[in-house]
Amino acid sequence: MAIDWHYPRTDLTERLMSAFDQRVVEALTLFAPRGMGKTEFVRYDLIPEAGKRGYVPVYVNFRDKRDDPASVLLAALRTALSDRNWWRRRQRVVKAASLDEVESAVLATESPAIAPDSTMLVELRAHFLELIQNNDRILLCIDEVQHLASSRAFENLVFFLRTILDENRDKVRTIYAGASRDGLRNLFCRRKAALFQSSSQIELPTLGSGFIEHMRSSFQQASGRDFSHREGNKAFDLLNRVPKELRLVIEKMILSGADDIVNEAAVLSEGQLERGDYEKVWKRLKGLD
């Protein structure tokens, strides 16, 4: 059987979903720096649980097409309309992109921002309403939401979202996820984006020993080799407790046959420091967000 590398955040999922169920909140904003597991949580924990509870999930990632968020939203609505169970057929193994890949993707796609025209907004509205009419509960997941603050061209899309969500409070729950606190604050504080002010903000908890144990047992299954919990923990510390980085280290160990996880983690973090990559990329990403 295929190894499930995903470590489920069961408690967090339960807490957020009951807050949505009981209408404690209509919207939540999830913060954490890149690589900490926001997308993974939304796609592999929250959405499946929401599906079980009768919500129709809609997943939008505004980084998928940075110049045209409206078309990303439209595609997500179409998917939800045409295929109620799209999320069940997800690919289990999502390979983590390295920071270099992320950076070059960011730099390569700097085409001019497209403001949705009225035809697009009419179409978005029609799709939204169809979804709302046919379903009792919708979970709208908006990933990389801070991207909407990156251009004035996106302001009418923000306004559109605010209006449609305001009009349909009884049926739609929204989760926003974003990496940049500043970018999000920007978005929340703008007068036109008052929508976001009404969302409760939570920080994605840092993963701990449960995650390390899960990685240990997955590594054992995949390679027949082992590392101790203490070593795993030390490696995770060296990687600033960024799950994406631990996954990269383990992947490398499986491919190269290396055994010493602490050493591999040290090599990865030193390499990043030496090249000055991490900080550089990090600053640039923050600036762009």
Ligand X SMILES: Nc1ncnc2c1ncn2[C@@H]1O[C@H](COP(=O)(O)OP(=O)(O)O)[C@@H](O)[C@H]1O
Q: Which residues bind Mg ion (CB under 5 A)?
A: 38-39
Spatial CB neighbours of 281, under 8 Å, sequence gap ≥ 6: 99, 100, 102, 103
**Which residue is associated with the tokens 């990303």?**
72
Q: Is 19 in the site for ligand X (CB under 6 A)?
A: no
68 binds, among Mg ion, ligand X, none (CB under 5 to 8 A by kind): none
Residue 56 or 246 having the CB closest to ligand X? 246
110 is written with which tokens?
Answer: 């700097």
Helix, strand, or coil here: 260?
coil
**Minimum CB distance to ligand X, residue 214 (Å):** 7
Residue 38 or 173 having the CB closest to Mg ion? 38
176 binds, among Mg ion, ligand X, none (CB under 5 to 8 A by kind): none
Instruction: Please say whether the beta carbons of 16 and 28 come within 8 A.
Output: yes
End-to-end CA distance of the chain: 40
Q: Is 37 in the site for ligand X (CB under 6 A)?
A: yes
Cite the beta strand spans of 170-209 per DSSP E. Answer: 172-178, 200-203
Near ligand X by CB under 6 A: residue from 227, 247, 250, 253: 247
Residue 60 or 261 having the CB closest to Mg ion? 60
Choices 33-41, 82-90, 229-237, 256-264; region in contact with ligand X by CB under 6 A: 33-41
Residue 4 or 170 having the CB closest to ligand X? 4
Phi, psi of 276 (to 5 degrees): 70, 10
Which burial class, exposed, middle or buried, applies to 239 when counting CB atoms under 10 A from its CB (0-12, 13-18, 19+)?
A: buried
CB-facing half-sphere around the CA of 254: CA atoms within 13 A: 15
Residue count of the chain:
289
Choices 5-13, 58-66, 190-198, 265-273; region in contact with ligand X by CB under 6 A: 5-13
The residue nearest ligand X at its CB is: 37
**Minimum CB distance to ligand X, residue 116 (Å):** 25
Site string for ligand X, 40-79 (x = CB under 6 A): x---------------------------------------
232 binds, among ligand X, Mg ion, none (CB under 5 to 8 A by kind): none
Cα-based distances in Å from 246 to 20, 251, 264: 32, 8, 10
d(CA 242, CA 237) in angstroms, rounded, equals 9
Near ligand X by CB under 6 A: residue from 26, 35, 76, 219: 35
Near ligand X by CB under 6 A: residue from 19, 25, 96, 106: 96
Instruction: Please say whether the beta carbons of 154 and 187 come within 8 A.
Output: no
Instruction: Please say whether the beta carbons of 179 and 145 come within 8 A.
Output: no
Where on the chain is the footprint of ligand X (CB under 6 A)? 5-7, 9, 32, 34-40, 94, 96, 243-244, 247
